[in-house]
Amino acid sequence: MSAPVGTPEVVVLLVSHDGARWLPGVVEGIAEQGALVSRVVAVDTGSRDESRDLLAAAGHDVVEATSGESFPQAVALGLRRIAETVPAAEWVWVLHDDARPAPGALAALLEAAARRPDVDLLGPKVREWPSLRRLVEVGATISGTGRRETGLERGEYDQGQHDDEREVLAVSSAGLLVRRRVLEDLGGFDVRLPMFGNDVDLGWRAASAGHTTLVVPRAVVFHAEAAHRGTRRTALTGRHTHYQERRAALYTLLVNGRAATLPWRVLRLTLGTLVRMVGFLLLRSPGEALDDLAALVTVVFRPGAVRAGRRERRERLAALGRAPDGARVRRLLAPPWLPYRHGLDVVGDVVSALTSQAADVAERRREAQAELDPSSQAAARLRAERAAREDDDESGLADTGAVARFVTNPVVLLTTVIVVAMLVAARTAFGQVSGGGLSPAPDTAGDWWSLHLDTWHPLAFGTDVPAPPYVAVLAPIASIVGPTATIGLLLVLAAPVALWGAFRFLRVAGRLVSPLGAPRLLLVGGATTYALAPVAAGAWGDGRLGLVVAGALLPWLAHAALGFADPEPDRRRRAAWRVGLLLALATAFAPVAWLVAVVLALLVLGAGAAVARGAVLSRTVWGPPGLALAVPLVLTAPWWVPALVGGHADMLLLESGRVPSADLGPFDVLIGRLGADAPAAPAWAGVVLVVLAVLALLPRATRIPVTLCWLVVAAATAVAAVLSQLTLTLPATDAPAGLGAPLLVVQAALVTAVVLGGQGVVRARVAPPVRVVAAVVAVGALVVPVAGAVWWATGDDRLTSADDAEVPAYMLQRSESGAEYGVLVVRGTVDDGFRYTVRRGDGRTVGEDEVVSVTDADPGVTATITELLSRPTPDTIDALAGLGIAYVLLPDPADGSVSSTLDAASGLVQASSQPGSRAWEVDRELDASLLDGDPSWLRIGLLLVQGVVLLVALVLAAPTLRAPRRDDA
């Protein structure tokens, strides 16, 4: 190709279809290029609007085609016309009917072409039309997964940051300046790519044939991307633009890739499609997921098109007498790590969206009100605030870095110190931990999985009691970090997570009450007090994992529940799914939490009905809370339904962990102490909080919300009062109902009351004397979190890293080799009676306590053991072996008469044990099938339902990551 002398002849090839909306601008843009355009050939593919007239009126040469002609065919038609009418044309400038060139675009392209005679294809910088400022593309390539890579952020503004001329794989066909001969040699655009992706394919083919494609950012074309955005639907795009795009991408990859890599590409694209489908489902876009699948099926399972395309490319290259320029193509394709970076970006987006979901409920309520009454003072203030915020943005926070902001913010520093102190105080929980109400963690996550998924457990003498619901939460975490670390992480991170959640909840609650919200120091104080509540109550020190986790979830749950106050029904529905999920989690760890939630929901709806009957009767108002209450019911169904059916209703009210939980006395729920025996902080600190909450009723500005907090206190306390009348009669012991969840709700409501009351004092301009009193009270209020923290750091807990060494090590080793090697542990004396338990596998671990506690004693088993302890015969020992017992252990102090009875029994062999205790080995063969039971199809079905509903709930609760496609124009 020789360098042109003077100005080369350029013909514009404009393809239009129903583009009357944009065409006037496009025609104007072409005119602005001046004399550089020697002729305009417009191909109109059967427009039904006035496109044709517009083109003809502009004096362009209009080629008429039917609406069945695709873009490649239209281009081919145009080329033919050019060959006929302007045989001297050296360059063809391809434009779309929605692509308007900026003035000087063609000149810049031609100037670059003159400078770089080796270049055969040139493309402009494409900016968004009508926004004009946003970048669409500055050259493009394609990744191994078929994604069109532009190297741009979504909606990136053009500030000259991509203004380097560079060689690219492809440029957009909107504004493509190409040597006519090259375009003809390459066979134009591939007709098998009617709408999308044909530019990348062309670029790829050009690169393969050794042509250079250059992007010239000085040349600018504005492109409305009407087809891509779905604004314009044609017979060719159909309704499924996503399907078309995806099909084009897959076709491009398969038709241009090297033959040797084809099987690998097919495999990768198939797997990738599945992953993308999951992603689309998570984003609640089932249509796009199906489009993806359909595209894969069309391309991969109908290989005719790909085969034909590959043959055609081979023949054209052969005709040109060139070998494929693989090195150039590889250089220009997207780097292989790019898809993974996109994956990380998506995760980051999800996380940030999740964390900022309900944060602006207060803001949206104010906006909604301002809209209802734009003349109100509140609306005026809102506008002023917004203006001020924009000024702030303009004045540039950019020059203060994250570190500087961190160090100079006392609230952040204080919070950091608190969190670090919490982590230090929780040091007992690092590593293996058990004690109090907490059993040791199992050895592997698989133990938790099978506890959750199996319907029959080889515990005690075999039981069909369903596993507690929190096992389903622990198992997946443990699959990643291991069971021991799971327990440790939950115990260590619970307080910081509660602190975070409480801070967020209190901030929004404060803003709901008044637009300024509470001062941040007050928020930090309140959040810290709440975060320490499970610790101060003694739940942490007693190893009540369920309460600790529920305590950490509670503020997040409350925060999500604020979404019910959102003005938009759709957001209320999303909030319902989120609340449902969080409530299901909380219920899994502290079952009584659900009861409290029901009572609170009824109370709030009842109060709402009293104030405004009509509003509450609307389904969009009562529906979401109802949904939120129903979700936990479904998600925990594999637990509570079999428990009810099996006659273990007691299980539904038990506190999680070892039974029995603590007995609570009068006022314990109010002052937040789990009974007199709990390793709890001093009670006076709890009394201080109650007193403060009473004082919080004084400021008039916040009296109503504080009273509402007290209403929550009263409701939760009432639930506790009713439950406290119950004694759960378990086979081995009596246990109280779990009052920990109401206690935590009470504490949360008290803290909220104090913070809101404090906000009322601070924000209302009260008289100076009152301020002094308030200041004194504020200092007094500091006592609560400080006392809690000091007590935590210094006080005793019942958690320990030691394993209890009652059962000799050799027995443990054997019992871990199979469930049938149980150790029968018998405590007591002949005079006072005996109590037997069985240790199997790795012992009683987290999640098994509740199962074993409510498993009814088999009378036959008890009879066998009674016989064993009084007058054992060989038949007794056979029966014992049939129960899967390998050892009999009488811990210290062993009853002498029973010991001698067992010593004399034939079939039992004396075994070594710790001083004071006695042990015997059962001299019989044991069989692994001894403890087998029948599976429960009911529970299997419920587990399936649980899995499906969990997925659905996760998808429906997920935040909105992107807006659905809408008409932009």
The CA distance from 295 to 272, in Å, is 12
Please work out the total of residues on this chain that contact another protein, with binding judged by CB under 8 A.
106
Kindly state the smallest distance separating residue 696's Cβ from another protein, in Å: 10
Q: Which of 857, 944, 948, 969 binds another protein (CB under 8 A)?
A: 857
Q: In this complex, which beta carbon is closest to another protein, that of residue 57 or of residue 612?
A: 612
Biggest CA–CA distance in the chain, Å, is 119
User: Which part of the chain contacts another protein (CB under 8 A), choosing from 57-65, 369-377, 470-478, 577-585?
Assistant: 369-377
**Site for another protein contains 665 (CB under 8 A):** yes
Kindly state the smallest distance separating residue 459's Cβ from another protein, in Å: 9
**Site for another protein contains 836 (CB under 8 A):** yes
User: Which part of the chain contacts another protein (CB under 8 A), choosing from 73-81, 336-344, 396-404, 725-733?
Assistant: 725-733
Instruction: Considering only residues 371 through 400, tell me which ones interact with another protein, judged by CB under 8 A.
Output: 372, 377-378
**Site for another protein contains 659 (CB under 8 A):** yes
Q: Please choose, from the candidates 744, 728, 597, the residue with its C-alpha nearest in 3D space to the C-alpha of residue 661.
A: 728
Cis, peptide link before residue 660, omega less than 30° from 0: yes
Q: Which of 535, 720, 774, 958 binds another protein (CB under 8 A)?
A: 720
Kindly state the smallest distance separating residue 768's Cβ from another protein, in Å: 17
The CA distance from 164 to 169, in Å, is 15
Q: In this complex, which beta carbon is closest to another protein, that of residue 84 or of residue 831?
A: 831
Q: Residue 190 in contact with residue 198, Cβ under 8 Å?
A: yes
Instruction: Considering only residues 890 through 909, tell me which ones interact with another protein, judged by CB under 8 A.
Output: 896-900, 903-904
**Site for another protein contains 711 (CB under 8 A):** yes
**Site for another protein contains 828 (CB under 8 A):** yes
Instruction: Considering only residues 868 through 887, tell me which ones interact with another protein, judged by CB under 8 A.
Output: 869-871
Q: At 358, is the secondary structure helix, strand, or coil?
A: coil
**Site for another protein contains 660 (CB under 8 A):** yes
**Site for another protein contains 701 (CB under 8 A):** yes
Kindly state the smallest distance separating residue 632's Cβ from another protein, in Å: 18
Alpha helices by DSSP H, 799-936? 809-816, 848-854, 859-870, 874-882, 896-904
**DSSP state letter for 302:** -
Q: Is 917 left (phi over 0), alpha (psi -120 to 50) or beta?
A: beta
**Site for another protein contains 706 (CB under 8 A):** yes
Q: In this complex, which beta carbon is closest to another protein, that of residue 460 or of residue 799?
A: 460
The CA distance from 206 to 782, in Å, is 73
Q: At 826, is the secondary structure helix, strand, or coil?
A: strand
Backbone φ, ψ for residue 168 (5° rounding): -130, 170
Q: Please choose, from the candidates 16, 11, 45, the residue with its C-alpha nearest in 3D space to the C-alpha of residue 224.
A: 16
**DSSP state letter for 196:** S
User: Which part of the chain contacts another protein (CB under 8 A), choosing from 246-254, 474-482, 548-556, 849-857?
Assistant: 849-857
Integer Rg of the chain from CA: 37
Q: Please choose, from the candidates 830, 907, 914, the residue with its C-alpha nearest in 3D space to the C-alpha of residue 875.
A: 907
**Site for another protein contains 914 (CB under 8 A):** no
The CA distance from 433 to 441, in Å, is 8
Q: In this complex, which beta carbon is closest to another protein, that of residue 454 or of residue 848?
A: 848
The CA distance from 117 to 955, in Å, is 54
**Site for another protein contains 748 (CB under 8 A):** no
Kindly state the smallest distance separating residue 866's Cβ from another protein, in Å: 4
**Site for another protein contains 703 (CB under 8 A):** yes
Helices 286-300, 262-282: axis angle to 10 degrees equals 170
**Site for another protein contains 573 (CB under 8 A):** no
Kindly state the smallest distance separating residue 579's Cβ from another protein, in Å: 12
Kindly state the smallest distance separating residue 724's Cβ from another protein, in Å: 4
Q: Which of 697, 778, 945, 950 binds another protein (CB under 8 A)?
A: 697
**Site for another protein contains 280 (CB under 8 A):** no
Neighbours of 499 (CB within 10 A): 24
Record the tokens describing residue 29, joined without a space: 């843009």
User: Which part of the chain contacts another protein (CB under 8 A), choosing from 20-28, 618-626, 937-945, 946-954?
Assistant: 618-626
User: Which part of the chain contacts another protein (CB under 8 A), choosing from 145-153, 164-172, 333-341, 654-662?
Assistant: 654-662
Contact partners, residue 836, CB within 8 Å, separation at least 6: 824, 825, 826, 827, 862, 865
Contact partners, residue 964, CB within 8 Å, separation at least 6: none
**Site for another protein contains 710 (CB under 8 A):** yes
Q: Which of 66, 352, 813, 866 binds another protein (CB under 8 A)?
A: 866
**Site for another protein contains 161 (CB under 8 A):** no
Burial of residue 369, with CB atoms counted within 10 A of its CB: 0-12 exposed, 13-18 middle, 19 or more buried = middle
Kindly state the smallest distance separating residue 19's Cβ from another protein, in Å: 45
Backbone φ, ψ for residue 851 (5° rounding): -60, -50
Q: Which of 270, 400, 409, 910 binds another protein (CB under 8 A)?
A: 910
**Site for another protein contains 73 (CB under 8 A):** no
Neighbours of 359 (CB within 10 A): 14
Neighbours of 889 (CB within 10 A): 23
Q: In this complex, which beta carbon is closest to another protein, that of residue 279 or of residue 569?
A: 569
Burial of residue 351, with CB atoms counted within 10 A of its CB: 0-12 exposed, 13-18 middle, 19 or more buried = exposed
Q: Which of 384, 602, 714, 776 binds another protein (CB under 8 A)?
A: 714
Instruction: Considering only residues 622 through 651, tell me which ones interact with another protein, judged by CB under 8 A.
Output: 624-625
User: Which part of the chain contacts another protein (CB under 8 A), choosing from 215-223, 295-303, 617-625, 634-642?
Assistant: 617-625
Q: Which of 42, 126, 852, 883 binds another protein (CB under 8 A)?
A: 852
AA identity, residue 177: L
Instruction: Considering only residues 726 through 745, tell me which ones interact with another protein, judged by CB under 8 A.
Output: 727, 731-736, 739
Q: Which of 832, 925, 934, 967 binds another protein (CB under 8 A)?
A: 832
Kindly state the smallest distance separating residue 644's Cβ from another protein, in Å: 22
Q: Which of 289, 493, 495, 513 binds another protein (CB under 8 A)?
A: 513
Kindly state the smallest distance separating residue 601's Cβ from another protein, in Å: 9
**Site for another protein contains 676 (CB under 8 A):** no
Residue 855 parent element (H or E) = none
Kindly state the smallest distance separating residue 392's Cβ from another protein, in Å: 24
Give me the torsion for CA of 655, 661, 666, 667, rounded to 10°: -60
Kindly state the smallest distance separating residue 584's Cβ from another protein, in Å: 20
Q: In this complex, which beta carbon is closest to another protein, that of residue 220 or of residue 706?
A: 706
Instruction: Considering only residues 430 through 489, tell me which ones interact with another protein, judged by CB under 8 A.
Output: 460
Q: Which of 4, 608, 626, 795 binds another protein (CB under 8 A)?
A: 608
674 to 101, 468, 591, 645, 710: CA distances (angstroms): 74, 22, 17, 31, 20
Q: Residue 51 in contact with residue 19, Cβ under 8 Å?
A: yes
Record the tokens describing residue 749, joined without a space: 């409501």
Strand partners for 14: 42, 95
Q: Which of 208, 285, 724, 747 binds another protein (CB under 8 A)?
A: 724
Kindly state the smallest distance separating residue 594's Cβ from another protein, in Å: 17
**Site for another protein contains 853 (CB under 8 A):** yes
Residue 83 parent element (H or E) = helix 71-85
